[in-house]
Chains A and B, each alone.
Chain A
């Protein structure tokens, strides 16, 4: 049945409409091209290198699994891996212990100081990491600020040796690195929680611990998992911190990669280890992602 508007001509042809819909896609050609060039390509090179013998004289053509074999059989790498896991996991847990109350405070209790505290949190990590880690060396050394202070107030007679160049110092410095990346996603998740829920829980008789356990943490969990994904990986693969404050006793996998590639010149081994680390981190990220979705299962 013809309507009264049947004679009005259509505003555009089908071809024109399709072209218009695809227009936004053209913008992506540039960025994707850059991404492919600068990110994917080196990754491919890394993969190729890991399957090749190489030394300071260059890489040999061919395919070999020797690099991977070396990494899995040489006991030194197993020991370093164990140390790395211990150090990184401990640092991560300490960071969470700091970040959770901090995020809670900023999200719910800061009032008009909220924006200011967020700014502080962001500024905390603006400092060049190397400079920051060096500052820790000043603090923790035998003639450092902390030892001087402790001797001065009479708590100890001799400066403490174990403050620097031990696992303790590496864990300590790692615990305070990237805390803003830990705290911010948790803060964001907490902000999304409707405050009425806490009142409802209180009304039903819940004390502060129950409110934390049953309301706050479960609802902030997605933020906690994002924080872990963001921070655990840099913690695990860091080499600057153990290099500068770790001394000989705390050697992490990141250092191994650096050694393999720079000191020994075994680019194949270095590439292989990098790939393994990448793979392990990807597995962790996927696990964390699915754990965070647990909340939303029907």
Chain B
């Protein structure tokens, strides 16, 4: 862990931003060490873009501070901060060529022409757009414009690169390509990347750590794996990947397990200490089994009927309506299947290990969890 003020380090320190009555960002604290690929993830209106804009300098915090490389830059204008932004609509200057666009930041600083030429060539090489130097933005595709925008920002060697949902306008295949491209650029330049998106898959693909936001609050900051496997709230569990969320009211405890007994020998087990009150239990789709085997100390098992079957090549997605009334999404590998695919209406037994699930306290402040089949 570097001391405060390392190169490219960003600290959002208890920042709040209000617009009139609306609290867009509510007492948010985020610490990003230099060189990290950090994402801010959340649904529309959660405050992620406002937070990014405060780091860039386009908004000023109502309270709290923005600290960049050890310096308080909360009220420093964006032109004077050593960060650069890639905008959602790229913002390339339409009346300038690619070369002039990329050189803009250096021209503003009155850099020598020879140095400008050299650094522009280098920047275009890094984003692999060398042949486009003489083109105009209108003559290029979205992906190409995207890369020019990146070059234009990176040429200034900023302490951090801020990206505001830059891949939203691209088609799926191009988006996947650009995600890998961004990872490569990040590794090549060592610059801190702060990436804002509402696409959880995108965040999981590229980031080293992610802050999940909702309604102006940071719900959880963790690595992708931690967010997926150990969400600390129903919201995060529902937002990241698919989750099955079941009501859980244990009635007996043994060996550190809480057990909720249901009719017909069915039961749901969870790792719990004794005496806890009603909560919710979360199980990822790939941990539930219908035809494969589930291993574990104590198995949860619930009967149900299949309501949908989707064949996805390597796996099958099943929607099963349990006897508890809840529906769950199950991902089963087709390798483990012997015989035909199950059909809609089949009666099955859904099994999973208690260790593969986790319990969430009923968090009334978060509202209802999203539906199980996200």
Contact = CB atoms under 8 A, between A and B. Distances in A.
A207 B89 contact: no
A200 B94 contact: no
Contact of A295 (B78, B95, B108): B95
Interface residues of A, number: 20
A202 B78 contact: yes
B253 interface: no
B100 to A, nearest CB: 9
Given A203-B56, A204-B104, A206-B108, A196 B93 contact: no
A286 B56 CA distance: 45
Contacts, number: 59
A298 B152 CA distance: 20
Centre residue among A196, A203, A206, A215 by max chain B CB count within 10 A: A203
B58 interface: yes
A3 to B, nearest CB: 33
B344 to A, nearest CB: 35
Contacts of B78: 199, 202-203
A204 B108 contact: yes
Given A199-B58, A200-B91, A202-B79, A210 B136 contact: no
A205 to B, nearest CB: 4
Contacts of A200: 85, 87, 91-93
A192 to B, nearest CB: 10
A8 B5 CA distance: 78
A204 B95 contact: no
A213 to B, nearest CB: 11
A295 B96 CA distance: 9
A205 B108 contact: yes
Given A194-B89, A196-B89, A203 B95 contact: no
A194 B91 contact: yes
Interface string A185-216: 00000000010110111111111001000110
A101 interface: no
Contacts of A194: 89, 91
A214 to B, nearest CB: 8
Contact of B79 (A203, A215, A218): A203
B87 A201 contact: no
Contacts of B84: 203-204
B109 interface: yes
A295 B78 CA distance: 28
A209 to B, nearest CB: 11
A199 B93 CA distance: 11
A219 interface: yes
B156 interface: yes
A219 B91 contact: no
B93 A197 contact: yes
Contact of B136 (A197, A204, A298): A298
Contacts of B136: 298
A207 B93 CA distance: 16
Nearest to B81: A203
Nearest to B91: A200
B87 A205 contact: no
Contact of B105 (A205, A218, A219): A205
A278 B134 CA distance: 41
A293 to B, nearest CB: 12
Interface string A238-264: 000000000000000000000000000
Contacts of B109: 205
Contacts of A218: 95
A215 B107 CA distance: 13
A272 B113 CA distance: 54
A64 B87 CA distance: 67
Given A219-B94, A219-B95, A295-B95, A204 B105 contact: yes
Contacts of B108: 204-206, 210
Contacts of B156: 204-205
Contacts of A204: 79, 84, 104-105, 108, 152-153, 156
B79 A196 contact: no
Contacts of A219: 94-95
Contacts of B93: 197, 200-201, 214-215
Interface of B: 56, 58, 77-80, 84-85, 87, 89, 91-95, 104-105, 108-109, 136, 139, 152-153, 156
9 contacts: A199-B85, A201-B93, A204-B153, A204-B156, A205-B80, A206-B79, A207-B79, A210-B108, A296-B95
Given A204-B104, A206-B108, 6 more contacts: A199-B91, A201-B93, A204-B79, A205-B109, A219-B94, A298-B139
Interface of A: 194, 196-197, 199-207, 210, 214-215, 218-219, 295-296, 298
Those 7 A-B pairs whose CB atoms lie nearest each other, nearest first: A200-B91, A204-B105, A196-B91, A205-B108, A205-B79, A203-B85, A206-B108
